[in-house]
A and B are shown apart, each in its own frame.
Chain A
Amino acid sequence: MATENPNADGFGEVSRVRGILFEYLSFGASVFGLVALGVLLVYVAIDAFDLANASPEWLLTYFLTLVVPFLAFCLYSANDRDVTRRALVALGGGLVAVAVLFSAIEALLVPIPRLNWQLAYLFVVAAPVTAYLAYVGSRGRLGAVGFGLLGRLVGGVAVGLAVGTLFLVLDALLWFLAYTIGVLPAVGLYALGRVRSSPRARTAAAPVGLVGLTAAVFLRDVVATYPSDLIIYLWTIAIPVAAAGAFLVAGRRGRTAGAVVGGVPLAAATAGGFLAAGAGLPAPTVLLAIVLTGVPTAVYVSRVVDGGEGLAGLGLPLLLAAGAIAGALIVEALGVPAPNPWLDASFLTQAPSRTPEQAGLYPAIVGSVIIIAMVAVLSFALGVGTSVFLEEYTPESGALGTLTRILQVNIANLAAVPSVVYGLLGLGLFANLLGLGIGTAVTAALTLSLLILPITIISAQEAIRSVPDDLRRGSDAMGATRWQTTKNVVLPEAMPGILTGTILALGRAIGETAPLIMIGAATTVFRAPDSLFSRFSAMPMQIYTWAGFPQADFRYGVVAAGVITLLIILVGMNGTAILLRNRAERGS
């Protein structure tokens, strides 16, 4: 039979050359881009932390006290022999390979500026291997607990600082009144409505809250006494947060545990707040940072202790702190030359200065954080509102349908308008016409919101469109109104996608300089903004200004420190938003 088979010689061959060529070209292009970016970041980091002046002894000390214990923790948590072997081969082999390669290049080809093989090893081998092992280790039981605790500690401090920063410009007294006579009664009524399952109390919550908020605005100008800042934050933020934590734990582990979880951090925060004033620190910020770190940490620890698994992981923060202290002590004792980083505590807390050593980014950080917070809220609310209207409420045909299509095309075009043009619009519309002031924080926030609005709208529309029609029909058939379907089915399902779009758009807004220049934002301010209408500067503006200074220390060291700060804040904000999004994803 087989002899008659016309395919006895096989089926011939189909050329794949073009496909393979394309594959390697695109692979090469992306690798080139990534490597270029990586090299840039390495040099920026070397400048910011003055690593070029770090002696090998200094690097070795911290490697042994900080990095090695951390790696050991990750490997122990991963508990996988293969991973351990691979990590050791990478670290050991990398050490030899980098040293040989580096010496060879230096000796035979060209000297590599401001880089030695120890630093090359640090960036090329140690840092990636550490990151990989942190990832692998965090998936083990022990690591999950350790990194969870670390995340709450760092995240709590960051959120506390951010909230404290926001209150530099937001009116604390207004918030105090609004919370006391608006938010609190509304939330109370709503909770009561849920517990007693009485819809009337639940429906009453919103109007009661609104009336309270309005009353607060009027009362603001009437009330003469001002409770101290500390009391305001204690009453409006610390106590509710502690109560929420206590409530969470009390439900599972009983009243006493709940009281401890809520009470201890609250007491510590209050004490910290009162002591901070004496130490010359901003009391409200200290209070917020402690309570927002303490309560989530306490809830987390209580949960882990309850679960009884991976308890040793709780030691990770201690391990790292001990490593850092031990390293510092050894370096001090041996007297090895330590680098003098540009990016240090004083850089983050000082105002700009004429001398590079004293230059700081604080006012610009505050300006950026405030603007981004406002942009996030504004563009999210406007973006979701517009996209829900366009996707769920407008018909496809008829006059309104045509109008919608015209709107749609224009929104897509707006996304492509250069940002300078938005700056001009902000200058004309917000600064001049509405009189919000040239170079003020509100003007900047409104302008940037407008700038990223098309992107948020389009991505939110995309997310809403991807919700299956089956679900909408299911809800409609239950007798849900259009709004009920949107609120209960469409928005929860689309939320992860909407958040992804907003996160990407915010990333763009935080780095924008051109529109800020157009609306007259200051290049340098020496005091952090203290109201929405005060003049401000933003991180990218300040960095840009420094880059133009004649002194080399500014152009290299200070700019690099600024860039790293900007990147860290950006990554931190995106990371938080991504965590929130993942939670939304899991919740559905």
Chain B
Amino acid sequence: MSNSTTDDSLITTEVQTDSNDGRAAPAAGTAVAARDLDVFYGDEQAIDDVTMEIPEKRVTALIGPSGCGKSTFLRCINRMNDMIEICRVEGDVEFGGKNVYDDDVDPVALRRKIGMVFQKPNPFPKSIRDNVAYGLKIQDFDGDVDARVEESLKGAALWDEVKDQLDSSGLELSGGQQQRLCIARAIAPDPEVILMDEPTSALDPVAASKIEDLIDDLAEEYTVIIVTHNMQQAARISDRTAVFLTGGELVEYDDTAKIFEDPEEQRVEDYITGKFG
């Protein structure tokens, strides 16, 4: 994974061949849409008038320099920003055609339809089985829990490694395995959207590439929205890419190939070729 900023075009051409297998860019419905979204922390604005539509069953990458509001945007989708007392959101975020900031939306119920994977793997200090079954437990799931656990672990490409130790603690796994466990936990209740906030930045390259392969598979069934500051990663795994720049401004949002080969904006080109940011 040698990172040289000069041959970006090379990376992207390579990308085009091995990613996006059969998933032609547009034509899908819209899973999540932001309209005139502004987010403030106290007086400081973190998202500035963002409007974008995120397609269903595709991988959408959010890239940009740190502090530009990528995580904040992600947290608006499942209203995790509600937990931050000083955070204030204006504008709409639509999920399944409904504004999640409407008064009649219960954020807890909303989060049950949207899975989330964090930067640092955060499995619960419980057994592997209990970790995966967590979402089922809190939703009083009626069906066969063990079957669902197995299915989710397979979906997260972890089953073969842990099938004999489902009762040992999730903390005994390696970092990469823990992150896949968190993915299994997120997909077990069968959400519609999976949000990932730099899911590989705390992992070694081998573990990271496993997660990247996994994300590609996940897009068959789920809408994946992933924040990353690794541009090659965005290029490799995503169908659509949104570039945020400082101040929380969405500068360009297009098919990944277009962004990396021929961006409209000079600032975007500077950013992805490493001239700033």
For residue B271, CB closer than 8 A to chain A, the reply is no
Provided the pairs A197-B145, A397-B85 are in contact, do residues A476 and B125 lie with their beta carbons within 8 angstroms?
A: no
Instruction: Indicate the member of A198, A468, A480, A493 with the most B CB atoms within 10 Å.
Output: A480
Query: Chain B residues near A489 (CB, 8 Å)?
Result: 124
Between-chain CB contacts (< 8 Å), 15 pairs: A396-B85, A471-B122, A474-B182, A475-B134, A477-B186, A478-B115, A479-B108, A479-B113, A479-B138, A481-B108, A481-B138, A484-B138, A488-B134, A488-B137, A492-B125
Residues of B within 8 A of A588 (CB): 125-126, 169
Question: B189 an interface residue at 8 Å Cβ cutoff?
Answer: yes
Residues of B within 8 A of A492 (CB): 125-126
A488 to B140, CA, bound (A): 13
Q: Which of B81-132 contact A (CB under 8 A)?
A: 83, 85-86, 108-113, 115-116, 118, 120, 122-126
Interface residue total, chain B, C-beta cutoff 8 A: 34
**A473–B80 touching, CB < 8 Å:** yes
Task: Answer yes or no: B78 CB below 8 A from chain A CBs.
Answer: yes
A396-B85, A397-B85, A479-B111 given as contacts; is B135 within 8 A of A474 (CB)? Answer: no
Q: Does B164 interact with chain A (Cβ within 8 Å)?
A: no
Alpha-carbon gap, A382 to B42, bound state (A): 36
Cβ-defined partner of A470 (8 Å) among B78, B111, B122: B122
Q: How far is the CA of A452 from the CA of B182 in the complex (A)?
A: 40
Binding site for A on B (CB under 8 A): 78, 80, 83, 85-86, 108-113, 115-116, 118, 120, 122-126, 134-135, 137-140, 142, 144-145, 169, 182, 185-186, 189
Q: Which chain B residues lie closer than 8 Å to A397 at the CB level?
A: 85-86
Whole-angstrom distance from the CB of A488 to the nearest CB of chain B?
A: 7
Knowing A476-B111, A478-B135, A488-B134 touch, does A199 contact B142 (C-beta < 8 A)? Answer: yes
Chain B residues, CB < 8 A from A477: 78, 80, 111, 115-116, 118, 186
Tell me if A478 and B134 are in contact (CB < 8 A).
yes
> Which positions 189-213 of chain A face chain B at CB distance < 8 Å?
197-199
CA distance A225 to B140 in the complex (A): 43
> In angstroms, how far is the closest chain A Cβ from the Cβ of B273?
34
A395 lies within 8 A of chain B by Cβ: yes
Residues in chain A near residue B189, CB distance under 8 A: 478-479
Given contacts A477-B111, A481-B108, A588-B125, contact A470 B120 (CB under 8 A): yes
Chain A residue at minimum C-beta to C-beta distance from B137: A488
Nearest 8 CB-CB pairings of A with B = A479-B112, A479-B111, A477-B116, A470-B122, A199-B140, A474-B122, A588-B125, A478-B135
Residues of A within 8 A of B182 (CB): 474
* Closest A residue by C-beta to B146: A197
Q: Which residue on B lies nearest to A586, using beta carbons?
A: B169
B202 to chain A: closest CB distance in Å? Answer: 11
- CA distance in complex: A492, B169 (Å): 14
Q: Please indicate the chain B residues that have their CB under 8 angstroms from the CB of A395 in the complex.
A: 85
- Of the listed residues B78, B83, B110, B138, the one surrounded by the most CB atoms of chain A closer than 10 A to its CB is B138
Q: Which residues of A contact B123 (CB under 8 A)?
A: 474
In the docked arrangement, what's the CA distance between A252 and B184, Å?
30
Chain A 470-513 interface 0/1 with B at a Cβ cutoff of 8 Å (1 = within): 11011111111100100011001100000000000000000000
**CA–CA, A197 and B139, complex, Å:** 13
From residue A418, how far is it (CB to closest CB) to chain B in Å? 38
In the complex, given contacts A470-B120, A471-B122, A492-B125, what are 9 additional A-B residue pairs having Cβ atoms less than 8 angstroms apart? A199-B140, A397-B85, A468-B122, A474-B118, A477-B78, A477-B111, A479-B138, A484-B138, A588-B169
Q: How far is the CB of B182 from chain A (nearest CB, A)?
A: 7
Alpha-carbon distance A548/B89, docked complex (angstroms): 72
Verify A478–B118 contact, CB threshold 8 A: no
